[in-house]
Amino acid sequence: MSFTDQDEALISAALDGSARAWERLVKRYETRVYNFSLRLTGNQTDALDLMQEVFLGVYRNLHRFRGDAQFSTWLFRIAHNKAVDMSRRKYMVTSLSSVAGQEQSDDDVLDHIANDNGAHDPQRVLSTTQSNAEIIGCLDILNWEQRLVVELKVFQSHTFDEIAEMQDISANTAKTRFYTALKLLKAHMEQSHELS
Amino acid sequence: MSCHESSKLVPDYFDEALSLQQRKAMEAHLQDCADCQEALAEAKSINGQLRQWRDEPVPQWQRVPKQLQGSGGSARPRFSFWGQWAPLAGAFVMAVAVLFNVQIQVQDNGFSIAFGGAAGIDAGVIAAQLEEFENEQRAAQQQTLQVLSAQLEERQAGNNARLLETVIEQFGDSTTRSLEQVMAYFESQRQQDLQLLQTSYQRLADSDVQTIRSMQQLANYVQYQGN
């Protein structure tokens, strides 16, 4: 039985009310989703929250999965949407806590979100390995949109056309964001090496 | 890194969807452009460093949602599409009915719907219907009375004739005995007539009760529509 066939069998059983099948299905993808969440949020607490939202979304929409695409593709579309939802919620919280009347551009807000996740706090990245902590520190300099493009391109290996469709932007915009993110990451890494 | 092609070339390098022709053009440019070679090398390096990520183990968490915990849970929607929307549609209809004060009246020739206030009740029509109903009931009573009276007269006439015949036949045998028989016969006839009268009056009374009930129902109906 292929990986996809196993997915379909577990999905069918889960739809019929099998908690065991659902648990097995979750276990097959939870590591990928958790690490996706960890790279985006930069801390374990938010990563767990995001992962729970993703799987709850998957569970609620499982009956809509038609098998047109791979289950993993469908699942990570939900994960992407939940990540965007979370970024918007953080934006709202950030806006409410910001100085009244102070206008912020989208980039400012996204930068604020990216810098507000506490990834630099050693206490919040204790569970990560040293290399993972460095990567989180690098990604932390990117705004949310740039981080999503890097996540989808580097870690999820999506094409730019797929990223464009998921984010409702053009493929050229996705490429520009990716290139800008790489330049920012390069500058940050050079700076880190000079300091060390 | 000053080549303006770099911003296009570097992302293209990571684009698996690039056509063979585009990839050949990119490689041709790379061979002659040191800036783009450097930019691509840096991008590859960053990409490589990011891919040093080692998956973290997932902390303990609740994998099975509450809906699926225990037996009998199912991720399938419990209702069909229409079943899911039916309660909402019903609530919407009710809300519209309350907001617009919708009133529905059932009439002899169908029903009518009124919005925004009490439905118009034609008092004249109702009064005419009541009068017509009362007249029908009176006519029915009169007819019943006439039938009963006719029956009673017929019975009395028959009884009288039979009484005379019996008296004439029995008179010659014994006067005393005949008188006792006549008295007994009169008494039995009186009892029969009395029973007949009681039955007739009972039927009349039942008819009156039915009439009163019908009138009460009609009055209640009219009052309900008026409210």
Closest residue on chain B to A188 (Cα): B46
A·B CB contacts under 8 A: 118
Largest Cα–Cα distance of chain A, in whole Å? 60
Å between B23 CA and nearest CA of chain A: 15
pLDDT, tens only, A27-61: 999 999 999 999 999 899 999 999 999 999 999 99
Closest residue on chain A to B71 (Cα): A17
Give, to the nearest 10 degrees, the angle between helix A19-41 and helix A44-61.
140
* B77 Cβ under 8 Å from any chain A Cβ: yes
Beta bridge partners of residue B113, listed in sequence order:
B104
Query: Do residues A69 and A32 lie in contact, with contact meaning Cβ atoms separated by under 8 Å?
Result: no
Length of chain B: 227
- CA torsion, ordered A30, A36, A37, A39, to nearest 10 deg: 140
Place of tokens 């009133």: B103
Contacts of B67 (CB under 8 A, 6+ apart): A59, B73, B75
Please tell me the distance from the alpha carbon of residue A76 to that of residue B169, in angstroms, as a whole number.
120
pLDDT, tens only, B76-88: 655 455 666 777 8
Q: Determine, for residues A35 and B53 on separate chains, whether the beta-carbon distance falls below 8 Å.
A: yes
Give chain B's radius of gyration (CA, Å): 52
Distance of CA A131 to the CA centre of its chain: 19
What pLDDT, on the 0 to 100 scale, is given for residue B41? 94
Residues within 8 A of B (CB atoms), A 119-138 only: 127-129, 131-132, 135, 138
Closest residue on chain A to B43 (Cα): A182
Give me A157's structure tokens.
Answer: 């290996």
Please tell me the distance from the alpha carbon of residue A101 to that of residue B133, in angstroms, as a whole number.
78
What is the fold, at CATH topology level, of the domain defined by A3-195? Rna Polymerase Sigma Factor; Chain: A (1.10.1740)
* B46 Cβ under 8 Å from any chain A Cβ: yes
How many C-beta atoms surround the C-beta of residue A113 within 10 A? 21
Beta bridge partners of residue B107, listed in sequence order:
B110
B51, B55, B74 ranked by CB distance to A17: nearest: B74
Contacts of A132 in chain B (CB under 8 A): 53-54, 56
Query: Do residues A151 and A37 lie in contact, with contact meaning Cβ atoms separated by under 8 Å?
Result: no
Contacts of A55 in chain B (CB under 8 A): 63, 65
Digits of tens for pLDDT over chain A (196 positions)? 666 788 999 999 999 989 999 999 999 999 999 999 999 998 999 999 999 999 999 999 999 998 888 899 899 999 999 999 998 887 666 555 544 444 444 444 444 444 444 444 444 444 567 889 999 999 999 998 999 999 999 999 899 999 999 889 999 999 999 999 999 999 998 888 777 6
Average pLDDT, chain A: 82
Query: Do residues A146 and A177 lie in contact, with contact meaning Cβ atoms separated by under 8 Å?
Result: yes
Residue B143: band (very low, low, confident or very high) from pLDDT cuts 50, 70, 90: confident
Domain boundaries, given as residue ranges, for chain A: 3-195
Is it the case that residue B24 has pLDDT exceeding 80?
yes
Q: Determine, for residues A182 and B58 on separate chains, whether the beta-carbon distance falls below 8 Å.
A: no
CA atoms within 13 A on the CB side of B185: 16
Give, to the nearest 10 degrees, the angle between helix B34-50 and helix A130-139.
130
* A154 Cβ under 8 Å from any chain B Cβ: yes
Domain boundaries, given as residue ranges, for chain B: 6-50, 81-120, 123-226
What ipTM is given for this predicted complex? 0.78
Contacts of A153 in chain B (CB under 8 A): 14
A22, A38, A39 ranked by CB distance to B68: nearest: A22
Instruction: Supply φ then ψ for residue B115, to 5 degrees.
Output: -115, 145
